[in-house]
């Protein structure tokens, strides 16, 4: 995707890919909420497992032949992804994303409990929350793909702060207000993934990009699960609504601290025309 549209089209390519995930978030929870009215949860989970098996078979059968015209990766030019992540600009970015995902983890614990206990709702209402989130995320993800703005770092920090603000009302607001707030949260959250991918793509050469993104995935894969592990006892002790509000407050604090300490690299590495150029804005 980094090379698909060139420097100007990189964000659009990322946004299109992320929009497909948002579409799944719209359709999946809504469909599950409808089916749970007629199908036992265990049977629905079993059907879900069968669909994953089907997708796995299709992925196994997919052709992965590399066209003969493709340029081979220069192994000598590629560096260790984890070593590259120690650069100040990439390290600040990876720490921000890790903490953001970690603070998101408790939301996965708290929202079902909030719907069931605080609102005395059912699976359909929980599906409505996630569907509204997906609708907002898809809309903003497609919109951000049309941007040509270079203030990517500043927008990323605003997204972190905005998502936190949308979680704050859950401890005291009525159900209708929190449903709207969660939909707005999806609209705010949507561009986060394509924007942060664009940040990695803009400060990393083509040769190093695969190893950097692999290291990124390895570093971030534990963030949300750890957040969920911490969130479970918090939900049990404080309740779901206050857990969501605390997650939002902590995310707002993260945005404030990151805006003060996260700085992009003060120098850009010269690169051939086949490599992407740095586009991080300066504060």
Q: Work out the average pLDDT over 199-214.
A: 78
Domains of the chain: 6-52+81-261 (1.20.1250.20)
Flag whether pLDDT at 260 surpasses 70: yes
Q: What is the pLDDT of residues 153-206, one digit of tens each?
A: 888 999 999 999 999 999 999 999 999 999 999 999 988 988 888 788 777 777
Q: Select the more confidently predicted residue: 205 or 4.
A: 205
What the block records as the tokens of 260 is 């003060």
Give backbone dihedrals phi and psi of 190, rounded to 5 degrees, phi first: -45, -50
> What was the pLDDT predicted at 2?
57
Q: What is the pLDDT of residues 90-128, one digit of tens each?
A: 888 899 999 999 999 999 999 999 999 999 998 889 989
Q: Work out the average pLDDT over 72-99.
A: 72
> What was the pLDDT predicted at 135?
86
Compute the distance between CA of residue 180 and CA of residue 171 in angstroms, rounded to an integer: 14
What the block records as the tokens of 248 is 């939002």
Average pLDDT, the chain: 80
Give backbone dihedrals phi and psi of 267, rounded to 5 degrees, phi first: -140, 145
> What was the pLDDT predicted at 13?
67
Please name the residue that has the structure tokens 């207000």.
177
Confidence grade of residue 269 (pLDDT, cut at 50, 70, 90) = very low
Compute the distance between CA of residue 125 and CA of residue 133 in angstroms, rounded to an integer: 13
> What was the pLDDT predicted at 281?
34
DSSP-assigned letters across all residues of 37-95: TTS-HHHHHHHHHHHHHHHHHHHHHS--PPPTTSPPP-TTT---HHHHTTSHHHHHHHH
Q: Work out the average pLDDT over 57-68.
A: 70
Give backbone dihedrals phi and psi of 45, rounded to 5 degrees, phi first: -65, -40
Q: Select the more confidently predicted residue: 145 or 68.
A: 145
Q: Read off the pTM.
A: 0.73
Compute the distance between CA of residue 214 and CA of residue 209 in angstroms, rounded to an integer: 8
């Amino acid at each position: 995707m980094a090379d698909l549209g060139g420097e100007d089209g990189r964000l659009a390519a990322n946004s299109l890919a992320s929009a497909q995930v948002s579409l799944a978030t719209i359709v999946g929870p809504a469909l599950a909420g409808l089916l749970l009215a007629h199908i036992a949860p265990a049977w629905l989970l079993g059907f879900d497992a069968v669909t994953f098996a089907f997708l796995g078979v299709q992925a196994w059968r997919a052709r992965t032949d590399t066209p003969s015209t493709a340029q081979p990766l220069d192994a000598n030019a590629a560096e260790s992804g984890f070593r590259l992540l120690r650069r100040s600009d990439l390290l600040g970015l990876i720490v921000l994303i890790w903490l953001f995902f970690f603070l998101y983890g408790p939301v996965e614990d708290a929202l079902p409990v909030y719907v069931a206990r605080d609102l005395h709702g059912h699976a359909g209402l929980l599906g409505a929350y996630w569907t509204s989130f997906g609708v907002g995320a898809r809309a903003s993800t497609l919109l951000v793909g049309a941007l040509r703005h270079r203030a990517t770092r500043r927008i990323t920090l605003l997204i972190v702060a905005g998502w936190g603000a949308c979680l704050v009302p859950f401890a005291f607001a009525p159900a209708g207000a929190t449903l709207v707030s969660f939909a707005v949260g999806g609209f705010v959250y949507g561009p986060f993934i394509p924007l942060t991918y664009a940040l990695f793509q803009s400060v990393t050469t083509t040769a190093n990009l695969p190893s950097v993104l692999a290291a990124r995935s390895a570093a971030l894969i534990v963030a949300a699960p750890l957040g969920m592990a911490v969130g479970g006892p918090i939900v049990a002790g404080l309740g779901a609504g206050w857990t969501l509000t605390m997650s939002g407050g902590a995310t707002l604090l993260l945005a404030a601290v990151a805006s003060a300490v996260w700085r992009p690299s003060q120098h850009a590495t010269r690169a051939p025309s086949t490599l992407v150029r740095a586009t991080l804005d300066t504060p």
